[in-house]
C-alpha cells in the first residue's frame, strides 16, 4: 500500500527530479505538491510544478501556491543555478493542471489532521510553508506520519555562505521554528544536508540514459534541457562534473531510510551571526548531555551522516528512465 506524500517544493531543477522520482516510485502516492518561493518566485514555482506533473502524467495531485516571501522577507533569486525560469535551459510553454483553492500551509495542516499518522511530508525548499502550517496546526509534528527535509549542512560547509545551506539560509527564521517544533519528539525530521547530498549527483551520461527510451518526448526534453544546465553550473564551480541531487535524496531517504546512516542530535539555527546566519549549528559531540552544558536540550533532528550514493543514483536513473519510457 503506497504512502501518501506531500512534497513542499521550490521547483528548481533538482525539485523537478524529486517530483518525477516521487511519481515514479511505487511506494509513494503523491497526493499534493505545495509551492514556496526559493529558487524562483512562488508563482514560477507553481507554474513549473504544474508543468512537471502534467508532463509526468502524475494524475490527481493537488498543487497549492504558498509563501511568496521568507517569514522576515528579503528574498533574492539565484538564476545562475537553476536558470531564470527555474528549469535550466527549458523554456516552459503551457501548463494545464489546476491550482488548489487552498494555500500551501492550509493544505499541509488540513491533510495531516485529516489523516493522522499517515502523511509523509518532504520539504525540498525553504521551510516557510512548514512554519506557517505549524502556526495553523501546532500538533503537526505528531499528526504527520513522517517528515524529511533537504536542508542544512551539519558537518559540511555551506553553499550560499561558508556556513549556510541555501534552503535554511533563505528562511532561517522558518527553519528555527521547524526544528524547535520537533524538540523532544520520538519521530524527528529526517534531515538530508549537504553532507550527503553533494555525494549524490547525475552526470550528462546519466541524463542520456534516462532520456534514451523516448529522447524526443516532452518529458525527455524537459529533463534533457533542465539537468545539463544544472550540471554546467556545478562544473563551473570546479568541484565535480555532475549535478547534486539534493532534493531527490530527501525523497529517496523518506521512502527508504536505509540509503543513509543517521544520528539523532540537537540542531539550532543561527539567526544573528554576522558571518553565520542560516548555519545549522549541530551538537555532534552530544555536549548537551554534559553537566557543564548550557545546551541541555532535547534532540530535535535525525541527520544523515553518510549515504549509499551509487544505490540512490541507480534507483533514480532506473525510475526516471521507466517514467520516460511509459510517457513516450
Ligand atoms: O542547497 C540545495 C537546495 O537549494 C536544493 O533544495 C535546491 O533546489 C535549492 O533549493
Ligand atoms: Ca529545492
| CATH number of the domain residue 135 falls in | 3.90.245.10
- Active site (annotated) includes residue 82: no
Pocket test for ligand 1, best of 20, 129, 167 (most atoms within 8 A of CB): 167
CB atoms closer than 10 angstroms to residue 228: 20
Helix, strand, coil share (%) of the chain residues, nearest 5 = 40, 15, 40
> Do the Cβ atoms of 42 and 12 come closer than 8 Å?
no
Q: Does ligand 1 lie within 6 Å of residue 167's CB atom?
A: yes
Handedness of CA 228, 78, 218, 23 (dihedral sign): positive
- Decide whether any atom of ligand 1 lies within 6 Å of the 151 Cβ: no
Count of beta carbons in the 10 Å neighbourhood of residue 269: 25
Cβ(166) – ligand 1 distance below 6 Å: yes
Considering the candidates 41, 82, 246, 289, report the single residue annotated as catalytic. 246
Residue 118, all three cell numbers: 499517515
User: Which residue reads 505549524 in cell numbers?
Assistant: 134
Instruction: Name the phi and psi angles at 176, rounded to 5.
Output: -60, -40
Structural contact between residues 34 and 108, judged by C-beta atoms closer than 8 angstroms:
yes
Total tally of structural domains belonging to the chain:
1
- Strands 260-265 vs 267-269: parallel, antiparallel or unpaired: unpaired
Measured distance CA(185)–CA(213) in Å, rounded: 45
Residue 33: its pLDDT value, please? 98
Output the CA 245–ligand 2 centroid distance in Å: 10
Give the integer Cα–Cα distance in Å for 121 and 189.
10
Alpha carbon distance 153, 227 (integer Å)? 23
List the pLDDT tens digit at each of the 328 positions of the chain.
999 999 999 999 999 999 999 999 999 999 999 999 999 999 999 999 999 999 999 999 999 999 999 999 999 888 889 999 999 999 887 776 789 999 999 999 999 999 999 999 999 999 999 999 999 999 999 999 999 999 999 999 999 999 999 999 999 999 999 999 999 998 999 999 999 999 999 999 999 999 999 999 999 999 999 999 999 999 998 877 899 999 999 999 999 999 999 999 999 999 999 999 999 999 988 898 888 887 767 999 999 999 999 999 999 999 999 999 999 8
The whole-number pLDDT of residue 296 equals: 63
**pLDDT for 96:** 67
Question: From the CA of 253, how far away is ligand 2's center (Å)?
Answer: 15
> Helical H runs in the chain?
13-24, 42-55, 79-82, 104-114, 128-136, 140-143, 166-170, 172-181, 194-197, 204-211, 218-236, 246-255, 309-326
Going from the Cα of 246 to the center of ligand 1, the distance in angstroms, rounded, reads 6
Residue of 152, 166, 231, 226 lying closest to 196 (CA atoms): 152
Q: Does residue 45 have its Cβ closer than 6 Å to ligand 1?
A: no
pLDDT in the model for residue 289: 87
Alpha carbons 58 and 52: distance in angstroms, whole number: 9
**Using a 6 Å cutoff on CB, does residue 280 contact ligand 1?**
no
Output the CA 124–ligand 1 centroid distance in Å.
Answer: 7
- Whether the CB-CB separation of 303 and 263 falls below 8 Å is answered with yes
With a CB cutoff of 8 Å and minimum separation 6, the contacts of 258 are none
Q: Could you list the residue range(s) of the whole structural domain that residue 12 is in?
A: 3-326
The verdict on pTM exceeding 0.95 is yes
SS3 1: coil
Per-residue CA distances from 14 to 50, 177, 229, 271 (Å)? 15, 25, 11, 26
Amino acid at each position: 500500500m503506497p504512502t501518501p506524500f506531500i512534497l513542499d517544493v521550490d521547483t528548481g531543477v533538482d525539485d523537478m527530479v524529486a517530483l518525477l522520482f516521487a511519481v515514479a516510485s511505487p511506494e509513494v502516492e503523491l497526493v499534493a505538491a505545495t509551492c514556496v518561493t526559493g529558487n524562483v518566485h512562488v508563482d514560477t514555482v507553481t507554474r513549473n510544478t504544474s508543468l512537471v506533473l502534467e508532463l509526468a502524467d502524475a494524475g490527481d495531485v493537488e498543487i497549492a501556491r504558498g509563501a511568496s516571501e521568507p517569514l522576515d522577507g528579503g528574498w533574492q533569486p539565484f538564476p545562475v543555478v537553476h536558470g531564470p525560469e527555474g528549469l535550466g535551459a527549458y523554456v516552459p510553454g503551457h501548463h494545464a493542471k489546476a491550482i488548489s483553492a487552498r494555500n500551501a500551509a492550509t493544505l499541509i495542516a488540513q491533510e495531516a489532521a485529516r489523516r493522522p499518522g499517515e502523511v509523509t511530508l518532504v520539504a525540498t525548499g525553504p521551510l516557510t510553508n512548514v512554519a506557517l502550517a505549524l502556526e495553523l496546526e501546532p500538533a503537526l509534528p505528531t499528526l504527520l506520519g513522517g517528515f524529511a527535509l533537504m536542508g542544512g549542512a551539519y558537518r559540511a560547509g555551506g553553499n550560499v555562505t561558508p556556513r549556510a545551506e541555501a534552503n535554511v539560509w533563505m528562511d532561517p527564521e522558518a527553519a528555527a521554528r521547524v526544528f524547535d517544533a520537533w524538540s523532544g519528539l520520538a519521530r524527528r525530521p529526517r534531515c538530508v544536508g549537504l553532507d550527503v547530498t553533494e555525494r549524490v549527483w547525475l552526470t550528462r551520461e546519466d541524463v542520456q540514459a534516462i532520456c534514451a527510451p523516448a529522447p524526443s518526448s516532452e518529458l525527455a526534453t524537459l529533463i534533457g534541457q533542465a539537468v545539463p544546465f544544472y550540471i554546467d553550473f556545478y562544473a563551473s564551480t570546479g568541484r565535480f562534473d555532475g549535478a547534486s541531487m539534493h532534493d531527490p535524496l530527501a525523497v529517496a531517504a523518506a521512502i527508504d531510510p536505509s540509503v543513509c546512516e543517521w544520528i539523532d542530535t540537537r540542531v539550532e539555527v543561527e539567526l544573528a551571526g554576522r558571518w553565520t546566519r542560516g548555519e545549522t549549528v549541530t551538537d555532534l559531540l552530544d555536549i548537551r548531555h554534559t553537566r557543564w552544558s548550557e545546551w541541555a536540550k532535547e534532540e530535535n533532528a535525525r541527520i544523515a551522516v553518510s549515504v549509499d550514493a551509487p544505490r540512490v543514483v541507480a534507483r533514480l536513473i532506473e525510475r526516471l528512465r521507466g517514467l520516460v519510457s511509459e510517457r513516450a
